[in-house]
């Protein structure tokens, strides 16, 4: 019990001589993550930005490659649909020039197919946007594998100093009201 209380209260002393007594941090990855490589030794001092450890790759590279392949397939589908629309528009133009010698149903079928292909292009573009968002997320997750040191000592000291001033002000106010 004493050890537990000591661990929670050791970093700060809120007396008149506020100092940081334990300028160290215990680091560990989240549940389900594994450390791939550690770049520091026990009790080594680090500066802000120093690489501390990297996490194992959780198949994000393979995921990114798969998503890029899906994006390429969707782009190829859009290209094929544009060619199909161009051919259908030429055929529709021919049938329109034939006027009474072509069936109206053939012209209607071509118009419908052209409109359906435009809808497929819009759907493929939306699919590409979704894939690009997934690629961005996977790249962001991949960048988070490197764990670096952050400078928090200054902000912790300022917080402790503000807390100390607050305690002193409260003490003075309570003393004057007595």
Distance CA 159, CA 138 (A): 36
CA nearest to 122, candidates 88, 91, 85 = 85
Distance CA 97, CA 9 (A): 89
Rounded to an integer, the average pLDDT of 144-162 is 63
Percent of the chain with pLDDT over 70: 66
pLDDT at 152 over 60: no
pLDDT confidence tier of residue 43, bands split at 50, 70 and 90: confident
Distance CA 7, CA 131 (A): 46
Write down the pLDDT at residue 1.
Answer: 46
Which tops the pLDDT comparison, 57 or 118? 118
Percent of the chain with pLDDT over 90: 34
Secondary structure of the chain: what % helix, strand, coil (to 5)? 65, 10, 30
Write down the pLDDT at residue 72.
Answer: 96
Write down the pLDDT at residue 120.
Answer: 96
- Residue 46 burial (CB < 10 Å; 0-12/13-18/19+)? middle
Write down the pLDDT at residue 21.
Answer: 46
User: How many residues comprise the chain?
Assistant: 178
Distance CA 170, CA 33 (A): 45
Which tops the pLDDT comparison, 130 or 159? 130
Residue 25: alpha-carbon gap to chain centroid: 25
- 85 contacts: CB under 8 Å, gap ≥ 6: 114, 117, 118
Indicate whether this model's pTM tops 0.85.
no
Least confident segment among 50-64, 81-95, 104-118: 50-64
In angstroms, what CA-CA distances link 56 with 30, 59, 134, 174?
A: 12, 9, 20, 55
- 102 contacts: CB under 8 Å, gap ≥ 6: 94, 95, 96
Helix/strand/coil for 73: helix
């Amino acid at each position: 019990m004493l050890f537990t209380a000591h661990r929670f209260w050791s970093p700060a002393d809120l007396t008149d001589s506020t100092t940081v007594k334990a300028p160290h941090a215990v680091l560990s990855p989240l549940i389900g993550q594994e450390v791939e490589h550690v770049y520091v030794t026990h009790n080594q001092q680090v500066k802000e930005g120093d690489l501390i450890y990297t996490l194992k790759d959780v198949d994000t590279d393979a995921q990114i490659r798969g998503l890029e392949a899906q994006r390429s397939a969707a782009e190829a589908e859009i290209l094929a649909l544009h060619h199909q629309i161009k051919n259908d528009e030429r055929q529709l133009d021919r049938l329109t020039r034939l006027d009474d010698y072509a069936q109206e149903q053939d012209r209607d079928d071509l118009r419908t197919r052209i409109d359906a292909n435009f809808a497929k292009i819009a759907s493929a573009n939306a699919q590409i946007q979704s894939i690009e968002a997934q690629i961005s997320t996977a790249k962001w997750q991949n960048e988070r594998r490197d764990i670096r040191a952050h400078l928090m000592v200054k902000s912790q000291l300022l917080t402790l100093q503000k807390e100390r001033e607050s305690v002193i002000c409260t003490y003075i106010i309570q003393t004057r009201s007595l």
